[in-house]
Amino acid sequence: MKSKIRILLTAGGTGGHIYPLISVTDEIYHLAGEQNRDLEIRYFGPASPLNGEFENRGIKVEKIISSKLRRYFSLNNFIDAFGFIFGFFQALCKIFWFMPDAVFSKGGPGALAVVLAARFYRIPVMIHESDTSPGLTNSLSAKFAKKIFIAFEKTARYFPPEKTKLVGNPVRANILRDVPDQETTKKNLGFNPAEPLILVIGGSQGALKINNFISDNFGEILDLAQIIHQSGPANFLETKKETDFLLQGLGGSYQKRYQLVGYFNQGKDLKEAFAAADLVISRAGSGGIFEIAAFGKPSILIPIPEEVVGEHQIVNAYEYAKSGTAIVIEESNFKSSIVLDQARKILTDPELRKKMSQAAKNFAKPEAGKIIAEEILKLVLNQ
């Protein structure tokens, strides 16, 4: 038996990268504990406010300079080329002193330098791709990966079939454990359990376009349903100022129909928000989609346009919605009348909600984190 198992994690710094890594990490700790194995995990990646999620678990964080890889011409590519070279040598030095048994990468800025440094030392690498269309980091990392995990079936066409495995996108086990019933949760949150509730969530950073939609249609939305609205931390103060003003204009009866939060922690707060919701309005990041699916909630997805982040959110949304789980409204059609009509249609049709909910549950893959953790440990122990 190996005296100590050393595993290195790497990724970009967004919630879409970090939270799946945390899910896998928690499962690795659980499995290693069951097997009575000594374990050390470290994370190498760019500076991020979410790095505290690793530090809270006793995982040492080593910062690697972030460099964005672009498939198109940009002068920033020349600047980031120097950042990438520096990040690569950073990773070489840091890996030399840690010398892990395996590297698990979620892709994103900063991760490729770590993967290439691991390749230099002949350390086995596994990667996970969350989106239907893989990012450039994972497309390049796949050439060196022992195993490639994917969230969507459609993604398999981009990778060698003999080392690709469909697992879904890891969702934190703690938010799926002991989920309270909807009526009780609504009551505990201060809402009327007899009325519908919409959860509006724009990803870990929030979504200004969705925030503006809520403000511009405030009274009409609150006549339709109660609202929990995640604005994103950067937009919280401005959104609160605006919605407080709007609530004052609407009168006291609306005060208990709306709650604003800047950011949900990935624990009790997020679990309660999903448990209470009858409908979710969300961006179409893979992490958000798989959380919605895990809770079996009907949804309206508003993907970020292709010109902003590439096509992956649009393709994610349609791939998810094709089985009847969700309604997709692209930003070119993101008009108040369309969104409100679709929300009203879902909330006033119990049979439709039931069908969408069941389709979401059928799509969900809540064991993704556990499956990846098992494969990582198997790779290490079979070397």
Mean pLDDT computed over 254-261: 93
Mean pLDDT computed over 194-212: 84
Residue with the bigger pLDDT between 37 and 282: it is 282
* CATH superfamily entry for domain 5-171+366-381: Glycogen Phosphorylase B; (3.40.50.2000)
Q: Tell me the C-alpha distance between 235 and 140, whole Å.
A: 35
Q: pTM for the whole thing?
A: 0.91
- State yes or no: 204 annotated in a binding site: yes
At 342 the pLDDT is: 97
Mean pLDDT computed over 155-170: 96
- The pLDDT tens digits for 208-221 are 889 999 999 999 99
- State yes or no: 313 annotated in a binding site: yes
- State yes or no: 288 annotated in a binding site: no
- State yes or no: 57 annotated in a binding site: no
Binned at pLDDT 50, 70 and 90, residue 12 comes out as: confident
Domains 5-171+366-381 and 175-363 share a fold: yes
Q: Tell me the C-alpha distance between 115 and 174, whole Å.
A: 29
- The pLDDT tens digits for 78-91 are 566 677 788 899 99
At 203 the pLDDT is: 65
At 70 the pLDDT is: 52
- State yes or no: 3 annotated in a binding site: no
CATH fold of the domain at 175-363: Rossmann fold (3.40.50)
Q: What percent of the chain has pLDDT over 90?
A: 71
Q: Is 80 exceeded by the pLDDT of residue 66?
A: no
At 75 the pLDDT is: 53
158: which DSSP letter?
G
Contact 299, 330 (CB under 8 A): no
Q: Is 50 exceeded by the pLDDT of residue 64?
A: yes
- The pLDDT tens digits for 311-366 are 889 999 999 999 999 999 998 888 889 999 999 999 999 999 999 999 999 999 99
Alpha-carbon dihedral of residues 317, 265, 307, 313, nearest 10 degrees? -20
Please tell me whether residue 152 adopts helix, strand or coil conformation. Answer: coil
Domain-by-domain residue ranges, the chain? Answer: 5-171+366-381, 175-363
At 209 the pLDDT is: 87
The H-assigned helical ranges of the chain are 15-34, 52-55, 76-98, 111-120, 136-141, 173-176, 182-188, 208-216, 218-224, 236-250, 268-276, 286-294, 306-309, 312-321, 336-347, 350-363, 368-381
Amino acid at 205: Q
- State yes or no: 249 annotated in a binding site: no
Phi-psi region of 192 (alpha: psi -120 to 50; beta: other; left: phi over 0): beta
Mean pLDDT computed over 248-259: 89
